[in-house]
Structure 1
Amino acid sequence: MNAGGRGVRVSMVGRVAPWARRHRWFLGVLALGTALRVVTMLGYRPALWFPDSYSYVVTAMRPKPDLVRPAGYSMFLRLFEPLHGFGFVTLAQHLLGLLTGVMIYLAVVRRRRPRWVGALASAPVLLDAYQIQLEHLLVSDSLFTFLIVAAVCLTLRPLTWRTALATGLLLAAATLTRTVALPLIAAFGILLLWFGSRAARAGNGTAGGTAGGAVDGGTGTGTGRASGRVRRGRMPWRVTGVFLAAALVPVAAYGGWFWAAHHRVGLIGANGVFLYARTMSFADCAVMRPPADLAVLCDDRPPARRPPSQEYIWDPDAPLVRLPGITFLRETDALAGRFAWLAIRSQPLDYVATTLDELARSFAWGRPVYPDAETYGYYEFPADTPDPPGRHPAIVGTRFAEQYERGPIGTRVVEPYAGVMRAYQSVAFLPGVLLLPVLLFPPLVAVARFAVRRLAPSKGTGAGSRRAQAWRAAWAVPWAVAGLLLLIPAATAEFDYRYVLPATPLACLAAALMVRPRSRR
C-alpha cells in the first residue's frame, strides 16, 4: 500500500514538474501577486472605504435601484451578507483580480504566443499596487474588470452560440455593475457580426472560427461544426442574435425594475447630471445663449478658473445642487441634460478638445493629483486609520454597513504589513506614459504589416495563409474595448485613475496578441 502511494506521488510529481517548468514565469508572477494580496489583507483589516461604498451597501441591504449607480455590485455584496464580514468581500475581490491575470495569460498562450509574453501581459493586473489597492476598496471596479476581461477572452474562443450566450450574459452583468459597459454591447455585436461575416466569405472554417477572426491557438485545429455553420453564412446572424438577446434581456429586466421603483426609463437617473458636469469644463453661456430655465445652470467664471467637473454634482454651492429638491430628480436630470446637449451643439470643438484633454490624463507621466486631493487620497494605502465619513448619505450608509457587519465598521491599519504595501505602492505601478505605447503598439504594427504586404504581397492562398491573416486580427477586440473604456468616461463624466485600471489588462492582451505565434513544433 505504501509502495503504491509512493508510486502515485512520483507519477504526480513527474507530471506537475514539467508543467511548472513550462509556465514558470507566469507562476512566479502569480505567486508574487498572491503574496502581495495576503500582505494587503493583513495590513488593512477588513477593507478600505470609498464614498461610493456606502451607497452600495445601502442598496445591498435595502434592494432598490439607485439613481446614481446600478445595483450589480450591491447584489455582489449581498451574496456575502450572511457571512457578516466585509473581509470576505475583499477576499473575493482579490481572487477576482488573480483570476483576471490567469485569464489574460491563458488567452495569450492558447493563441500560441510565447509564454513569457503571456506572463508579461498579466503582470500589470497581478502586480500593480494600485490594482491591488482597488481590489481592497469596496467599489465595483474589480468585479467590473473581471466581467469585461472574461467577456473579451470568450470572444477569442471558437465562435459558437454557447460562447455568444456566455459573452452576452457577462456583458449584461458588467452593464449592471457599471453602465459604461452599455455601449460595449453594441460594439461587441458589431465585432461578432463583422468577424463572422468574414469567416463566411472566406469559405473555410480555419479562416475565422472566433470573434477575433482566428483559429483557437490552444487546439491548433479548426472549429468543427461551428465552422461549418460559419461557412454556410448563417452563423454570423444567429450568434449575433443570441449574443444580443443574452445581453439585452437582463438589462431590460433591470430597466423594468428601475421603472417600477422610480417611474423613469433607464438604468440610472443621473445621465443628464453627469453630462452637465462634464460640459461645465468648457460651457460658455455667452456662446450658448440658453433660455431662461437653463440659464440658472450657468457659471460665470471662465473655464480655467472652474473646479473639477465632479464639484458640479456634489458641491452644495454648485448651480445644479442649489435647485430645489434632490439633484437627481427627474426634472432636474432632464434640465441638466438639456443644458449639456445645448453646450455640445453650441461648442462642438470645445467639447472634443476637453474630451481629448481628459483622455490624455490617462497617459500622464507619474500620477499627478486629480481631480482633487481627497479623491486622489482614496487610491493610496493610508498610513493611519481613515476618518469616519462626514457627508449625510455616507452616515446613513454607515448604519446599514454596521447591520451588514453586525458590529462597528472601519479600517484597522496593522504594521508592518501596511508599511510594506505603502512602500510597494510608491514604486510598483504602470505609469500612464507606459500605457500609451502599449495601446499604440497593436495598430502601429498592424499598419506596418499591411504596408509590407502591399509592397511584397504573399503568394500563399491556402489554409496557412488564412491562419497567418487570422493571428494578425486577434488583437482587435481587446484593443477596441480598452480604447472605449478609456474614452467613454472622458467623454461623458471625468477622468479618474480607477477608470484606467480596467482598460490596462485588455491593452496588454492586445499588445501580446501582436507577437508572432510560437512554432507548433
Structure 2
Amino acid sequence: MTSSPVAARPPLPAARTATPGHRLFAVVVTLAAALRVLVMLGYDTARLYWYDSFTYLDTALHLRPNGAFHPAGYSWFLWLMRPFHSVELIAGVQHAVGLGIGVMIYVLLRRRSLPGWAATLATLPVLFDPAFIRLEHAILSDTQFIALIVGALLALMWRETVSARHAALAGLLLALAGLTRTAAVPLIGLALLHLLVRRAGWRPLAAMALAGTLPLVAYAGWYAQHHGRFALSGSDGVALWARTMTFADCSVVKPPPQEARLCPNGTVVDAASEYVWAPTASLNRLPGGRFAHNDLARSFAVRVIAAQPLDYLAEVVKDTSLAFTWEPVPHPDRMHPTTSFPRGSWPLPEQHALVGEVRRAYDPDIRGMRSVEPYASLLAAYPYPWFLHGTLFGVLLLAGGLGSIGRRRPALVPWALAMFLLVAPVAALDFDHRYVLPAIPLACVAAALAPAGTRRPRSRPSRREGARAGVRRPARV
C-alpha cells in the first residue's frame, strides 16, 4: 500500500524548528520581567520629574489640554489610572508595556521569517537597557509613545499587502502617538507615502488618512476651545526659536521691528533647549510669559532658517552626531545620560503648589523616590553587557539603511521612521539622549530585516513543479 503524496508535509519541520526560537525568547522575556520586578523592589515609588510629570498629572486631573509643551495623550492614560490612586501601579503597568514592546518586535520579525535567535537579539536593548526601564518606572510619556509607534509598525508590516483594516489601525496608533508627543504626527505622512509607493490601493490610503487625521483634528478643536488657536500644543514656535538661538545673526536676517526683540541678546547657555528656560534670554524678557509669544517666536525662527539654511543644517548635524559617540556626552551639561540604576534619594519640589494639589487629588502617597536595599545594590551592580553605545547604534542605522536599498526593501519603513525620530527633535528644538530612545527599537528592527533585502523572495511553486517534487497543492474548496 503506497502512501499518499500529501503525507509528506514540508511545513512541519519548519514549525518544529520555530519552537526552540520561541523557547529562547520566553527565557529572555522571563529574565526581563524579573529585572523589572527587581526595579519595583529597588525603588520605593515611581519617579516624578518637575515639570513634566506634574504637568501630565495636572492635565489628567482637570481634563483640559495643556497650553505649553505636552499634548494630552499620556494624561488620558493617567486619567484612566486615577481611580487606583497609585503612581506605583502606573509604573507597574508601564513595565508590562515595556515587555509588550519587546514581544511586538519579536512577533513582527518572526512574521518576516527571521529565525528565533535573530528576532530575540533585536529585542535585547528595549528589554534590558536601563534607559528604557527607568523611563518605564517614571511618570513620563516615553513608554506609551514607543509602544504606540512599534504597534503601528507591526500593523503596517503584518502582511506584504497592507489591508484597509491594518492601515486604519496603523493610522490610529500613529495619531495617538502624535497626541502623546507631537514629533510623531509627521510619521502619518511617511506611512501614507509608503502605501503610495507600494501601490496599496485607495482603500488602505483612505482608511489610514481618516484614522490618522480625525483624532488630530478633534483634539485641535478641543485645544482651540481652551486656548483660542487650532493646534496640538502651544510651544512649537518657542522650541524652534530656541533652536535658532545657537546660530541666528540678525544682521543677516534683518527681521521686522516686532520680531527683532527676539534676536540673541548676549545670553549664552550650553544647549539650544536651555534658551527656553533662561530668564535672561530675549523671549523670556517679553511681557506675558514665553508661551504667550509662540506665534511671534515661530515667525522669527522660520525667517532665521530661511536666511541661514546652511547654519541651521550644520547645527542639526552637529547635535545629531552626539547620538553616535562611544561614550555618552552630557547635553546640556547638567543632563547626564541614563546608563545604569543609581542609588540615592530624589526629593520633590515641595514649594510648588501643584505638588500638593496633585498629591491630594491623584495619589496621597506621592513623594520623592529613594532606593531600597538590598535590591538597589543588586541593581547598581547590574552589568548590562549589551549596552548600546552610540557608535553601535550608528552601525544599526547603517545596516538598516543598506537594507532599504534592495529590491524588496523590507527595512525601509522601520529605518525611515527611526531616522525621522532621531533627527526631528534636534531639528525642532535640541538633542536629548532621552529623545534618541524611540528610534532604537525601530533601528533594531531595520537592522534585523536588512539581510532579507539581499535575498530573492521565495515564489510559490506551480502545480507542475509541485507535482515533479512529489508535493500536491491542497484543492480549493
Partner Cα separation in structure 1 for residue 274 and residue 328 of structure 2: 21
Structure 2 residue aligned with 1:275, among 209, 231, 240? 240
Which amino acid in structure 1 is aligned with residue 130 of structure 2?
A: A
Deviations 1:322-341 (A, max 9, x none): 21112111xx1111112111
Q: Mark the CA change 1:92 to 1:55 in structure 2 (over 3 Å): closer, same or farther.
A: same
Contact map agreement 2:223 2:229 (CA 8 A) in 1: yes
1:429 pairs, out of 379, 383, 387, with: 387
Summarize the Cα distance change of 1:116–1:240 in structure 2 as closer, same or farther, 3 Å threshold. Answer: same
Distance in 1, matches of 2:122 and 2:138, equals 24
Shift of 1:22: 3.5
Q: Residue 328 of structure 1: SS of its match in structure 2?
A: helix
Paired amino acid for 1:182: V
Counterparts of 1:118 and 1:378 in 2: how far apart (Å)?
Answer: 25
* Larger RCO, structure (CA 8 Å, separation 6 or more): 1
* CA–CA distance in structure 2, aligned partners of residues 126 and 85 of structure 1: 24
Q: CA deviation at 1:408?
A: 4.2
When normalised by structure 1's length, the TM-score is: 0.80
Match of 1:369?
Answer: 330
Deviation at 1:342, TM superposition (A): 1.5
Q: Bigger CA drift: 174-183 or 362-371?
A: 362-371
> CA 1:490 to 1:391, structure 2 compared with 1: closer, same or farther past 3 Å?
farther
Alignment-mate amino acid for residue 38 of structure 2: V
Q: Cα offset for 1:134?
A: 1.2
Gaps of 5+ in 1: 1-15, 198-234, 451-468
Matched, 1:311 2:274: yes
Map of 1:183 onto structure 2: 186
Deviation of 1:321 after TM superposition, in Å, equals 1.3
Spell out the pairing of 1:85-96 with structure 2 (5 A cutoff). Answer: 85-96=86-97
Match of 1:343 in 2: 304
Change (3 A) 1:380 1:291: farther
Amino acid paired to 1:274: A
Amino acid at match of 1:31: T
Amino acid corresponding to residue 266 of structure 1 in structure 2: A
Is residue 54 from structure 1 mapped to residue 54 from structure 2 by the alignment? yes
> Amino acid of the residue matched to residue 345 of structure 2?
T
Where does residue 511 of structure 1 map in the other structure? 447
Aligned residues: 439
Query: Partner of 2:8 in structure 1?
Result: none
Q: Which residue of 2 aligns with 1:165?
A: 168
Partner of 1:466: none
Q: Any idea what SS the aligned residue of 2:327 has?
A: coil
* Bigger shift: residues 416-425 or 107-116: 416-425
Cα contact 1:359–1:487 (8 A) shared by 2: yes
CA distance in 2, matches of 1:478, 1:510: 5
1:385 correspondence with 2:307: no
Structure 2: where are the runs of 5+ without partners? Answer: 1-14, 461-470, 472-477
Checking the alignment, whether the CA contact within 8 Å between 1:129 and 1:425 is kept in structure 2 is no
Q: SS where residue 310 of structure 1 aligns?
A: helix
- CA deviations on 1:9-37 (whole Å, 9 max, x unpaired) are xxxxxxx9997633232222212211111
- Map of 1:40-189 to 2, 5 A cutoff? 40-51=39-50, 52-67=52-67, 68-158=69-159, 159-189=162-192
Offset at residue 427 of structure 1 (A): 5.8
Q: 2:56 corresponds to which letter in structure 1?
A: Y
How far apart in 2 are the matches of 1:411 and 1:161? 46
**Aligned match of 1:284:** 249
What is the Cα deviation at residue 71 of structure 1?
0.2
Identity of aligned residues (%): 41
Over residues 415-449 of structure 1, what are the superposed CA-to-partner deviations in whole Å (9 max), with x where a residue is unaligned?
A: 121222233277653111100010111333555xx
Shift, 1:390, TM fit: 6.8
Over aligned residue pairs, what C-alpha RMSD do you find? 2.4
Q: 1:270 to 1:119 in 2, by over 3 A?
A: same
Question: Could you list the per-position Cα deviations for residues 201-240 of structure 1 after superposition, in whole angstroms to 9, with x for gaps in the alignment?
Answer: xxxxxxxxxxxxxxxxxxxxxxxxxxxxxxxxxx511110
Instruction: State how far apart, in whole Å, the 2-side matches of 1:194 and 1:477 are.
Output: 11
Q: 1:426 to 1:157 in 2, by over 3 A?
A: closer
1:65 maps to amino acid = P
Q: Which moved more, 1:383-392 or 1:283-292?
A: 383-392
Match status 1:251 vs 2:216: yes
Deviations 1:65-111 (A, max 9, x none): 00221000011111111111001111111111101101111111111
How far 1:398 moved relative to its partner?
A: 4.5
Of 123-132 and 413-422, the range deviating more from structure 2: 413-422
Amino acid at match of 1:359: T
